[in-house]
Amino acid sequence: MKTKFSHPRRGLLAGGNWIIDLVKIIDVYPQPEQLGNILGQSQGTGGGPYNVLMDLAHSGAPFPLFGAGLVGKDALGEQILADCRKHKIDTRALGQTPKAPTSFTDVMTEKASGRRTFFHARGANALWRGENLDFKKIKARIFHLAYLLLLDALDEADEKFGTKAARLLAAAQAAGLKTSVDVVSEDSNRFARIVTPVLKHVDYCILNEIEAGKTTGFKIRTPDGRLDTVALRHAAGALLQQGVRELVVIHFPEGAFARTRRGDDGWQPSLKLPPKYIAGTAGAGDAFCAGVLFALHEGWEVKRCLLTGVCLAAASLSDPTCTAGVKSLNTSLALAKKFGFQPALDRAE
pLDDT in tens, 311-324: 999 999 999 889 99
In sequence order, what DSSP letters do the residues of 310-326 get, joined into one string? Answer: HHHHHHHTTSSSSSTT-
Contacts of 16 (CB under 8 A, 6+ apart): 47, 48, 49, 68, 69, 125, 128, 144, 145, 146, 147, 150, 151, 154
Q: Reply yes or no on domain 12-339 having CATH 3.40.50.970.
A: no
Task: Give the residue-averaged pLDDT of 26-35.
Answer: 96
Tens digit of each residue's pLDDT (9 = 90 or more) over 219-257: 999 999 999 999 999 999 999 999 999 999 999 999 999
Task: Give the residue-averaged pLDDT of 288-300.
Answer: 98
Asked if 243 and 163 touch (Cβ cutoff 8 Å), the reply is no
> Which 8-state DSSP code applies to residue 99?
S
Instruction: Enumerate the β-bridge partners of residue 247.
Output: 204, 260
Sign of CA dihedral 263, 13, 84, 45: negative
Q: DSSP 3-state assignment of 156?
A: coil
Give the closest residue to 162 by CA, choosing from 201, 127, 126, 135. 201
* CA gap 268, 303 in Å, rounded: 7
Instruction: Enumerate the β-bridge partners of residue 265.
Output: 259
Domain ranges of the chain: 12-339
Tens digit of each residue's pLDDT (9 = 90 or more) over 87-146: 999 999 999 999 999 999 998 989 988 788 889 999 999 999 999 899 999 999 999 999
pTM here is 0.93
Q: DSSP 3-state assignment of 277?
A: helix
Contacts of 37 (CB under 8 A, 6+ apart): 26, 27, 28
* CA gap 176, 156 in Å, rounded: 25
Whether the ω angle into residue 277 lies within 30 degrees of 0, i.e. cis, is: no
